[in-house]
Structure 1
Amino acid sequence: MQGVPINPADLADFPSLDTAELLTSRMGIEITSMTLEEVVGRMPVTGNRQPYGLLHGGASAVLAETLGSTLSALHALPERFPVGLELACTHHRAATAGWITGVARALHIGRSTSTTEIVLTDEQGRRTCTAKLTCLHRDTRPEV
């Protein structure tokens, strides 16, 4: 992997929308640790279920993309800005309660793209989802 242009502790200093506008806030996603090697976070099942009481697969995808794109940002910012290009999720087992924890680890970090594997597990340590995220590293930040 190439050298990192940003310290994980500085990531919070980048301007963003009001937290009430962030999907991560609405879904209860918390990033619990960030290093250049991995980003770890969690999300409650409560509030993120589909009509049959199971964790919504789209919620798993949001957690995976959040963690993977955060890891890409640690390597790309401030010179380049990562945006999601492709996300693939395989759902292995249902979750009905508790918290889902995700761990994102880089498979590839390049100048123009990065690919991350994100493994989600339930509170018993059972794998619920495996995701792969590829981010494009843009030269400019998209206009909001």
Structure 2
Amino acid sequence: MHTNTDAVKTVLGELDERLGIEFVRVNADHAIATMPVAGNRQITGSMHGGAYCTLAETLASLAACEHAGNGRTAVGLDISATHTGRAAEGRVTATCRAIHLGRTVAVYAVEIDDALGHRVSTARVTTVLRDS
């Protein structure tokens, strides 16, 4: 995966493409992405919690790759998510902010809001930084 700060040129993974994730901004400190609700719903008609987690981990991992720098990569180590709302239509927007940017570990808070700006999920993602 490679990104350019704020001019998002990212090679998407297969799952990212399948879920319809679109990156708005990606840098080490702050990243934003969106994802459609349609196609990512559970049987109840609302966004699947696993889709929220995938969006959060994908965005945090890309931000961590930016922090890691050339010749290094980031891999998700831990994710904790609390789903507090229900998105049933439109797009959700994830905003990722760095909590800790270390040499071997990067930690991010990811807040996901529905199309009306209501919080639907909050995640904390820890990534481990490795040489490629």
**Considering the TM-score relative to the shorter chain, is it more than 0.5?**
yes
Equivalents in 1 of 2:5, 2:76: separation in Å?
19
Equivalents in 2 of 1:80, 1:10: separation in Å?
20
Shift of 1:8: 2.1
Counterpart AA for 2:50: G
Counterpart AA for 2:32: V
RMSD of aligned residue pairs (Cα, Å): 1.9
Structure 1 equivalent of residue 121 of structure 2: 129
| 1:87 maps onto 2:84 in alignment | no
Shift of 1:66: 1.0
| 1:8 maps onto 2:13 in alignment | no
Equivalents in 1 of 2:6, 2:86: separation in Å?
34
Equivalents in 2 of 1:11, 1:125: separation in Å?
23
Q: Gaps (5+ residues) in structure 1? A: 1-5
Q: What's the TM-score once normalised by structure 2's chain length?
A: 0.90
Q: Gaps (5+ residues) in structure 2? A: none
Match of 1:76 among 68, 71, 91: 68
Counterpart AA for 2:121: C
Deviations 1:30-57 (A, max 9, x none): 0011234311000000000011111000
Q: Percent identical across equivalent pairs?
A: 37
Counterpart AA for 1:66: T
Equivalents in 2 of 1:107, 1:96: separation in Å?
30
- State the 4+ residue runs in structure 1 displaced beyond 6 angstroms: none
Shift of 1:77: 2.5
For the pair shown, which has the larger CA radius of gyration, 1 or 2?
Answer: 1
Shift of 1:11: 7.3
Match of 1:38 among 25, 30, 42: 30
Deviations 1:40-86 (A, max 9, x none): 00000000001111100000001101111111011002132110000
- The structure-2 alpha-carbon separation of the partners of 1:109 and 1:121, relative to structure 1 and needing over 3 Å to count, comes to same
Query: Does the 8 Å CA contact 1:11/1:74 hold for their aligned counterparts?
Result: no
Equivalents in 2 of 1:85, 1:12: separation in Å?
24
- SS of the residue corresponding to residue 94 of structure 1 reads coil
Query: Does the 8 Å CA contact 1:30/1:42 hold for their aligned counterparts?
Result: yes
- The structure-2 alpha-carbon separation of the partners of 1:78 and 1:117, relative to structure 1 and needing over 3 Å to count, comes to same
Match of 2:104 among 112, 122, 131: 112
Query: Does the 8 Å CA contact 2:8/2:23 hold for their aligned counterparts?
Result: no
Q: What's the TM-score once normalised by structure 1's chain length?
A: 0.83
